[in-house]
Amino acid sequence: MRNYQLGKILFPFLIILLVVTCIYLYLPKHSDANQTFANKPVIVSAVNVTMQTQSIDLESLGTSRANEAIFIKSAQNDYVTEVFFNDGDIVKKGQVLVQLNSEQEKSAVAELQINLKEEQRQLNRLTELAKSQATAKSLLEEQRSKFEATQVQLASATIKLAEMTITAPFSGRLGQRLISPGAFITSANEITTLDDISTIKVDFNVPEKYLAALKPNMVVTAKSPAYPDITFSGVLSNISSRINPATRSVPVTASFDNKNQQLRSGMLLHTFVKLSEFNAILVPEKAIIPIENQHFVYVVENGLANRKEVTILQRLHGQVAIAQGLSEGQQVVTEGIIKIRPGSSVEVKGDAQ
């Protein structure tokens, strides 16, 4: 009985002794393992930052229109005798497009030319008689009025005759032909369209807050879904004198040289106005660590990750322009940031890009 009680008393002491012995034997090895783990470099990705020239672009959507665009119509009502163009023809200024029946107008001009010659002859005769006072001055003035009236009538008839021949008022590309020979047309009938697309103008809106930054001849680039691999370059040609009170935006126009005739009137274009350019160090946006109102990056120096505060100048489509805090050529960690702390030993995976 006494041995049993003694065993109960010694048993807890034996357990405690066993635990202390295990801790003693295990702790040095565990500490060594922790030390080894702590000294193992963390694998990260990094980039070498460089100084680059960047532009601040203002993006908008615009609609294109031709430099000149009209509907060709006739000033006179008559039958079409000849049509000198086909759908989509490129024409020069003054090129004849349509001829109307002009026989009556030609006869009227010829008759007035004869009458004018006769009025001229009578005026010359009365002028000579007036020198010898053989005729009254009132007859001379009356004849002069007849001569001048005939001149006006001839000029009017000549204009009407010219209007029977319809010509291109400027060079450009014709649209669909809407008439045929023998048709009777009036001034209300559309004959075709004519567009001068040697220069394409694009109208778009710019927010009011950028008004002070807009200047004539600023560089404007544009992209079209029709030509995804082509960037068109133009200039800002007009800034409206008024701001739309409903949208608080200012209408502007950009002009693009269109020698290749790729752009057409009515196309939707994505426009980019280059507001300014600057030189700055760029880092990927994912490398930035925001802490309250401050921003930091990890810079790899001598195999260690050092946290440095930076000042952001501008955010640009996945890149951040740095105003202060970095120097060209430094390595900035971009991946593995959550695994490191200031002073952590790191190893850059592969070559820094």
What tens digit of pLDDT does each residue of 188-223 get?
Answer: 999 999 999 999 999 999 999 899 989 999 999 999
Rounded-to-integer distance, Cα 73 and Cα 64, Å: 24
Terminal C-alpha separation, the chain: 81
- Residue owning tokens 């660590």: 289
pLDDT band of 150, cuts 50, 70, 90: very high
Burial of 294: CB neighbours in 10 Å, binned 0-12, 13-18, 19+: exposed
Partners of 21 in beta bridges: none
What mean pLDDT value characterizes the chain? Answer: 86
Whether the model pTM is above 0.85? no
CATH no. of 42-54+279-348:
2.40.420.20
Pick the CATH number of 69-191 from 2.40.50.100, 1.10.443.10, 1.10.1060.10, 3.40.50.970: 2.40.50.100
Q: Which strand ranges, in their side-by-side order, compose the sheet holding 184-185?
A: 165-167, 96-100, 78-83, 184-185
Cβ-contact 205, 60 below 8 angstroms: yes
pLDDT number for residue 33: 41
Domain ranges, ordered by start, for the chain = 42-54+279-348, 58-65+197-278, 69-191
Rounded to 5°, angle at Cα 92 from 90 and 96:
95
Residues 6+ apart with CB under 8 A from 110: none
* Tokens encoding 339: 């695994």
User: Would you say domain 58-65+197-278 falls under CATH 3.30.960.10?
Assistant: no
SS3 348: strand
Amino acid (1-letter code) at residue 22:
C
- Residue owning tokens 């008024």: 242
Rounded-to-integer distance, Cα 305 and Cα 295, Å: 16
